[in-house]
Amino acid sequence: MSSTFTHSFQTDLFTGKVNFPTGVFINGEWRAGGDKTTIDIINPTTGQLLTAISEGTAKDVDLAVEAAQKAFDTVWGSTLPEANVAEYWARKTFSDAKRFDIPESARVIRYYAGWADKNHGKVLETSEAVLGYTRHEPIGVVGQIIPWNFPLLMFAWKVGPALATGNTIVMKPSELTPLTALRVTQLGVEAGIPPGVLNIVTGYGKTVGHAISSHPSIEKVAFTGSTLVGREIMVQAAKSNLKNVTLELGGKSPNIIFEDADLNIAVEWATIGIFFNHGQTCCAGSRIYVQESIYEKFEQKFLERIKQIKLGDPLREGVNQGPQVCEQQFNRIMSYIDDGKKSGAKAIIGGKRHGTEGYFIEPTIFTDTTNDMRIVREEIFGPVGVLVKFKDEEDIIKVANDTVYGLAAAVFSQNISRALSVGHRLKAGTVWVNCCNQLFAQIPFGGFKQSGIGRELGEYAIANYTAVKSVIVRI
């Protein structure tokens, strides 16, 4: 550890007391950021200070890129990454946790560990006098910028395919939720990841994020976050060195419930679809469309189910919904709620702050909306949805596709032919049938339209981190 670095964080959540550094991590060392300034981390449950992290700078990104390039040239890019390191890392990091993203993150790391020796090129027939084949080579130093809503899972989604294909990494976690990445990186060192292979630079998007996306020695950048920031990253990538860009961006997912759906199943999944992770999910089913003939019955059951949601400290047993991530996000969501009311929509449940401490918002559903309202068209990223009637298949397909987004959609029907027919016509990267928010390490995830470029997860993600080289040999 650098002698200039003094900050650390201690917690006794889940597994007893754990102490880990909160500096930037470059070339296997924890150190203070270049300016030795810090960023306060606020506990959203109480609104109080939790700890502080180092504020990284563009100079720190330069140092991280230098370390990553050296590691790529000497210990990582020219050899197959060790699957046993990833397996140990997954086991060491995730074994004691209970929540959704922890076991899923472990599965992702183990899944990509299995890809380390299976990313093959092809031998291509030409003639007896010529041998042609392709090589799938690592790109080199890759930049990764992850969001705050699933800090551990997004870490795994990015790190897994990048390391499995032999790349080295400079990563920026969100300044709102950086502690997970720092702790897992510490465990990665214990698992045997060599210095320089994984570098973490904490800080703000306008400095660290900009430095990563515009760095001339980073040949690929992966980003998960808002569509607005994704646009900026594409511009910076283009202006610098035309680096390859993959983006997993926002959504406004339609959740379509036909009259022949199992009503109890549809209600349960609709609740999960919009209120999972306090509504802070890019694929949240925030536009809930119900066929006219069952609308009133669905609404009644849906409201009864929502009333069962318990708000409070997410670390306590029995709590279903915790706080929004920060005061700024809380205020943004409340502004959408206020705008919906002013526009003539009716909040049939929720619509207010919960409690007086922390950043809690009641689960909120609007009716009496029109398709031009902001609460219908824009991503709110909170526990706010709209409930809308529809007539028939042609009607709902037109309405569901009337959006700039195309990340995900869900269809509920006991007629599987109908469900698949409608699903195939929806402009979305993922379509769930009689479920929602179901993600698997081997199934790709990403968006159409302004919901992104490229895919996370599965074999499809591997292609984002390799360069295809053709070799032609005249015999």
Can you tell me the distance from the alpha carbon of 22 to that of 324, in angstroms, rounded to the nearest whole number?
A: 23
Amino acid letter, 30:
W
Identify any residues that bridge with 138 across adjacent strands, giving them in sequence order.
466
Annotated catalytic residue within 248, 299, 362, 379:
248
Can you tell me the distance from the alpha carbon of 346 to that of 158, in angstroms, rounded to the nearest whole number?
A: 40
Active site residue 248: yes
Cβ of 243: how many Cβ atoms within 10 Å?
A: 23
Q: Which residues contact 27 (CB under 8 A, 6 or more apart)?
A: 63, 64, 67, 70, 71, 195, 196, 199
Q: Give the active site residues.
A: 248
